[in-house]
Amino acid sequence: MRKLLAATVILGLISTAALAANPMVGGAAMYPKKNIIQNALKSKDHTTLVAAVKAAGLVDTLQSKGPFTVFAPTNEAFAALPAGTVETLLKPENKAQLTKILTCHVIGAKALAKDVMSMVKADGGQHKVKTVGGCELTLKVDGKKVTVTDETGGVANVTIADVIQSNGVIHVVDKVLLPK
């Protein structure tokens, strides 16, 4: 019985240590055993993104096995778009455009910050990657800072990297990435 109790305590400590390694996002703990949607729902900084994902019908996709890398724009990033843009995109008649924008934030692979840095270094300072929405993003590294440039030339900074999910990883960004 003591061995079982000791093993349980040790496993609990290991689990707590593993969970502690994941950064907080939007004031909420992010759990590596939960999927992208389950964690995003808890972030007060991503309520606009969650509403957009629901409006685009992408919840099931982002709850699936993956793996995915999501560049997750904050509410402030959406608020920085021209007035009325978010409201217009959330209308049912604009679902295709909203879906295109959102899927331009998703890569069909798990790319941690160290992976991005390695790819950028190997490619001489920038790495181009295709998203599941067919967009091409350019990843760059300046010291430990990772930036993502969209097809319109907009540059997003990764503000929180490596938020591990059961089906991939989230990197929080400060700008909405746009397709051509």
- Whether the CB-CB separation of 22 and 29 falls below 8 Å is answered with yes
pLDDT tens track for 126-142 = 999 999 999 999 999 98
Grade residue 12 by pLDDT with cuts at 50, 70 and 90. very low
Domains of the chain: 23-173 (2.30.180.10)
3-state secondary structure of 175: coil
Comparing CA positions, the residue from 140, 135, 82 lying closest to residue 116 is 140
pLDDT tens track for 146-160 = 999 999 999 999 999
- Whether the CB-CB separation of 46 and 37 falls below 8 Å is answered with no
Comparing CA positions, the residue from 106, 96, 98, 89 lying closest to residue 173 is 106
Amino acid (one-letter) located at 12: G
Grade residue 9 by pLDDT with cuts at 50, 70 and 90. very low
- Whether the CB-CB separation of 42 and 28 falls below 8 Å is answered with yes
pLDDT given at position 143: 84
Per DSSP, the residues of 34-57 read S-HHHHHTT-GGGHHHHHHHHHHT
**Interatomic CA distance for residues 43 and 157, integer angstroms:** 18
pLDDT tens track for 36-92 = 999 999 999 999 999 999 999 999 999 999 999 999 999 999 999 999 999 999 999
Enclosing H/E stretch for 155? strand 155-165
Token output for 14: 């290991």
* 21-30, 150-159, 160-169: least confidently modelled range: 21-30
- Whether the CB-CB separation of 121 and 144 falls below 8 Å is answered with no
pLDDT given at position 44: 95
3-state secondary structure of 173: strand
Q: What is the pTM of this model?
A: 0.86
pLDDT tens track for 89-110 = 999 999 999 999 999 999 999 9
